[in-house]
Structure 1
């Protein structure tokens, strides 16, 4: 039996997204949820998620998706706001500065620590895993700052680290890097396809989990349209979210898992 970590990674983005994630988690169709503690919704949406997580008896991992590059989410630290203002920078900005060694390490670490503290203060516990939104964990200087922020905040037990989808060599190299800091990683497979037709997604899922390593993380983004989400995302992205929600909740998807001998771990 293959174990797959099916993860929704944007809890806190919008009410419709949060409802869809909670419903799927309650039905046993997700095995991990990453929360956006940088969202203004986190302070009110954490409790409904906590209730569902308690009801499923620890079936799913609850983690933290750290944010450094989302225009729709605000920085949490005074240090960042004083230095750069009320918006994050683009992924390309980090890529250039990571390559040249010009990242403002202290400012970034302060922001990461603020988000970790915001998660733990409401959740009353540590995240079970940590990811970095928009694939920024690929940049080793940023990964080091994530680890430094976790240690500075005294997060125990140490969370799993989620590395973006990569080939086996790159993922193993990152796993060795994390192990030197005392952390464990989970491999990450390709996220669910961005398809706007249910039949097409159901067909794609029959092959999607083939060849993935044990416990591989597969990212999904289910959701339901609401006013906030309509302001944040184009209609095509919302249709993709709604299709994923319906497919993941369906009996057909459940049958596919059983046929392929896949266990949502």
Structure 2
């Protein structure tokens, strides 16, 4: 490493603050230790409210550099904030494959999406006293066809200074071959970035963090891949957390969250940042 070269500043963002108290506690702990510098908050989940928002703000206020964003949530098993949101299944949002298909078939009204996202932005402002620093989406919903139009319109209206998260990795195509999910996110993100630019909204230059959650991960090795070549301002998504009953009832991503938390809290991760000349601070 060349000490004369300034460290690359990236965003390491923990998604899903608000899904459960165990996830919230793990995220706050890592922010306090300087191992995260961003988190995105769900506004339709059981573990978000005044107290949880205050606890997060208190930790962030002491951090060297930490952003709080809105994690737009439009998929099951959660419920919309708006009364007339459609389509629904059993009074809940659609599962994400159904929402993606509805968007691709243009069977969604972007104005309905816009109204729901505006309501979530309003709920964020009510709890935190300001607009989010950035906006992303649970299960990448902000990238889906038609859905993205409603999301971007809402952000433009309610939080025009927030940047929006795209999910295209800045790496050669040969590294993404054999990873259909990554290629699909690249395709969606290319279109999303064009629309964000037309709306005058900023976005991150690169993204990393997606992997196959169905298999036990070597998260240290994965993090090394995520950081390699990531440019200044790039985003790495992660999902640290402690498993509790609420999380198990709402989300299939459970034990892997504790694996991620343990690695991010470790000295192995601190050394990885140093070796890659990356900082989470100013």
Q: Is the 8 A contact 2:100 2:145 kept in 1?
A: no
Matched, 1:60 2:66: yes
Matches within 5 A, 1:74-223: 74-80=79-85, 86-152=91-157, 154-156=158-160, 158-165=161-168, 170=187, 171=189, 174-186=192-204, 187-191=206-210, 194=213, 196=216, 200-223=218-241
Q: Deviations over 1:78-99 (max 9, x none)?
A: 1228976630012233333323
Q: Is the 8 A contact 2:22 2:244 kept in 1?
A: yes
The match for 1:31 is 37
Q: Deviations over 1:190-216 (max 9, x none)?
A: 33674646xx32244333311223222
Q: Deviations over 1:154-188 (max 9, x none)?
A: 335x2100013456775455333212211000122
2: CA distance, partners of 1:250 / 1:166? 25
Unaligned runs of 5+ in 2: 1-6, 172-185
Aligned length: 257
Aligned CA-pair RMSD: 2.5
Q: Is the 8 A contact 1:77 1:114 kept in 2?
A: yes
Matched, 1:238 2:243: no
Unaligned runs of 5+ in 1: none
Q: Whose helix proportion is higher, 1 or 2?
A: 1
Cα–Cα, structure 1 residues 208 and 95, in superposed 2: closer, same or farther, change >3 Å?
A: closer
Cα–Cα, structure 1 residues 74 and 202, in superposed 2: closer, same or farther, change >3 Å?
A: same
2: CA distance, partners of 1:260 / 1:221? 21
Matched, 1:12 2:29: no
Q: Is the 8 A contact 1:193 1:204 kept in 2?
A: no
Q: TM-score, normalised by structure 1?
A: 0.86
1: CA distance, partners of 2:199 / 2:20? 34
